[in-house]
Every structure is written in structure tokens, then in C-alpha cells.
Structure 1
Amino acid sequence: MPEGLLDVQGLGIRFGGLDAVKDVDATIPAGQITAIIGPNGAGKSTFFNLISGFYVPTAGAIRFAGEDITRLKTHQVVSRGIARTFQTTTIYKELSVLDGVMIGHRVRTKAGLFDALLRTGREKHDEAESRAGAMRALERVGLTSQAGRLAGALTQEGQKRVGIAMALCSDPRLLLLDEPAAGMNPEETTNLMGLIRELVGGGLTIALVEHKMSLVMGLADRILVLHHGQKIAQGTPTEVSRDPAVIEAYLGSHAHGGQMGQGEQASTTTGADHA
């Protein structure tokens, strides 16, 4: 297995006496695309919330680039180089694309309220830095020509790209994408796959939670499969698609010949992961 940028050992969290994630060992290799899949309620989003600092695990350890980040706050995790998007596109639709992405960059700057009110030199410097950083992020997602448009006026694909640009403003090494293709048509999904490949080609490591099996099988280098909060498989798409436990848990009767085809989508494509 390639060297892990992020490694988890025995990871778990309990809510009200129930295990949402239990005893998960997994690796996200550097410079690759790792997909996390599983039926509704498998624990996929909870797994993301754990490794991004939104939840504190009740068991296990998380290491990123060799550092133990198990109990760091969300902003500390971001500062270490992990950024994420969410299932629901969270952008500032009433602002221009550039202004919205600039907000994503301003969390990295040092100017405070006093500086903003008095328009100090530090405030002007930070504003210029944020504008330049936001434009770099927009260039990476192919939206420089849309910088002046209202974000809410963009297509679903465009809004997804804005959300990714906001995450890129923190200059992450690992980008977590939570159902990036949700609500997108096949053409938009194909375009998004191209963007994800470009970002990884530029040096990013990406982990994504996704229900669309056509995207997962056509894009991921490795796949982690969760079921009832536990890992049941991890490997290449070919390895995972032939794993009997995966076929039984995830695809069931929808599998053809015991394998997940690249064009095949599980019956959970439009579902949401509530665990």
C-alpha cells in the first residue's frame, strides 16, 4: 500500500450508547484519490467529521503527516492542511464569486475588527492577500471568468466549484469532498471528475464520500467501504468490486456477476448518509 498521508487506527465514536463508527483502521495515501462508500447510515459522513475535527472520537487515533491530530479543534486541523466541503453546497450565494471565496481566505489572515474599522495597513495588506489567494483558487477550479458574477446565479456545477475554491483557500494537502456530485447531471459529474483529477495532478490528496458508483469506480485509486460504522474492505476499485462482503452489504441484488461495473450505480445513489 502507498504511504499514508492520513492514518486512523481503531477509530470510533458513540452517540447515545450506539457506535456510529467502530474500530476503523484505514489509510489515505498521499497523492491519490480515496473514495469512502457504503449504504445509507454506514458512517461515511461521521468518518469525515472525525478526521476533520468536527467530532472528537471516543476511541482510536488519527495521524496526519506523522502528527497525532486526534483531539485537535477544527481550526487546528485546517491549519495542519486538511480542508473539506459539505453535502449541501455552502457558499455565499448573494455575493460575487470572488467576494465569497475571499471570505474563505480571510480566515487565514491576521487583521481584526480594529484594523477593519480603521482601514489600517495590515487590513489593506490582508485584503490584497485574500483577493490574490481567492483568484488563485478560482483559477484552479476554472472560474476566473466568473469572478464578478453572483455565486447564486451559477449552475449547480459552478456552485460546487465555488465551494471547492473556498476550501482550497486554506492551502490544504488533503481535501475532503462530501458528496461532491450530489444534484449534478451526468455531464456536470463528468466535468467534476476532470477537475478532481486535475487537482490531484497538481499535488493534492483527495478523499471523497460519494453515492454515485460511476464516479467512484471511474475516479478512485483506492476505496474504503464502511457498513454499520465498521470497515469491511479497503483496496483498489477492482479488489473492492470483487469482495463478497462489499457486494452483499452495498449492492446486494443490484450487483451483476458479483462485480461493480463502472457504469453501475447502487440503489442508494440519491440517498443521504445520516450517520
Structure 2
Amino acid sequence: MQLSETGRGVLVSGASRGLGRAVARAFAANGDRVAVHYGTRADEARATLASLEGSGHVLVGGDLADPGDAARVVDEAAEALGEAGGGSGIDVLVNNAAVNLPHPLAETPYEEWAALWQRHVSVNLLATANLSHLVARRLIDRGAAGRIVNIGSRGAFRGEPDHPAYGATKAAVHALGQSLAVSLGPHGIGVASVAPGFFATERVASRLTGAEGDAIRAQSPFGRVADPAEIAAAVLWLASPAAEWASGTILDLNGASYLRS
């Protein structure tokens, strides 16, 4: 079965604000039906849902660090997007949910360090792996093509001295995506990742003022940071039928702020 261009069911994890919201809007504007996932920010998720073009969009909440909750999120999203009624259910998964909490080694007590590593691994890596399994198995059982797009990070390659667990888990997400691309290709499921650099969201708005903001913008020869919509446009393309041959790729989206060989 071929993946359609529009009218797909799309689950976006961590879509209450920021990049997740931009991704949800991009798919909705493309004519797809979006399941907007949130962890704790229900009000912001409802604002995302209200901002989407078209109809058939749904809200699903749950703690993706809990494997049982992750399974419930996928069940609810698939049913709401039409699987129970003979519709497509989930055709595209965007693994966007993540935590990024500072923990520089020299300044972080061991107990806090260990707890923060556990949290990053649970949300950034294991939740991505679990959602990918849950959605891919549904696609395989339906005999349907599909797409999984993972949100990684430039920090997986550049290093994150103040956020080492974030950098490490995003590197693992990239490796996971490549492994899944090989194993799921025979089933018509493409898997790709994006590795964004700095982009402007509500969460980092304070960092983009003053000297720190100037230094961040100077990392790119364009003298700016990305807009979330620019990242979302790349995610939308990687989820399209035209991008099947990009399966396995890690797409750098950092405005030439970091070049890797």
C-alpha cells in the first residue's frame, strides 16, 4: 500500500508548544489529521489544537516515560484518527517529545546527576523507541506504508557540555533511526531524523536577548537562529512519499553553524 500525500493520520509527540506545535501546524496545513500529544501542558496543547487548519485533529495526553502510558497514547491516537472505523489510524509518527535540563558535571551533585540522566534516557530515547515500535507494528499489521521522523539535535555531534545527557540521548536517537530504517524498509516504512541547531521558541526566548543572544546568532553565517516553521517544513518533507529514498538520513538543519564530516 502506498503512502498518500495528504489526509494521513499523524501523531506528534510533545506538541503542546515550540517545535511540536509548528510541526503539528505544518501537517494540518498539508491536509493531514493530527493527534496532538502533551505530557503536562494541557492548556498549551489545547491552544495548539485550536490553531490547526482543517478538521479531524485530536488531543492525547500521557507520560511517555511510562511504557504503559505510551501504549495508551498510541491506542487513543489511532482510534481517534480513524483506525477503529476502518480509517488509516496513524500513518506518520513524529518523535518530538524531549527534556533538556542543565547538569554540567563539575557543578551537579551525583544524586541529581543520576536522576537527570534517568529522566533524559526515559523521555528522549526510550519513549522514542517505544512509540516507534507501537506505531510501526500497527503499520505492519495493516500492511501499510508509513513514516517515522525523529527530532534529534546538532548537539549529538557538537557536544553539550552543560547538557551531556541531552547530547548523548539525541545521538542515540539518531542511531536508533538508522537501525529502524534498515529493519522497517522492507515493510514500506521510512525512518529519518533531523538534527536542528538553535531555533527560537518560548522556552529559549530569554537566551536570545543581550550578549548571549548575539553570540548564539553569530554561530551561523546567516546571523540568526532558525524559526520552528523551517524545521517543521523539513519534517513534513521527510514524511512525504517523495522522501522515501531519504530513509536512514540524518538531516542537518543548523544554518551552517556546525559542519560535520
TM-score, normalised relative to structure 2: 0.34
- Mark the structure with the bigger radius of gyration: 1
**Higher RCO, Cα 8 Å, sep 6+:** 1
Structure with the bigger percentage of helix: 2
TM-score, normalised relative to structure 1: 0.33
Structure with the bigger percentage of strand: 1
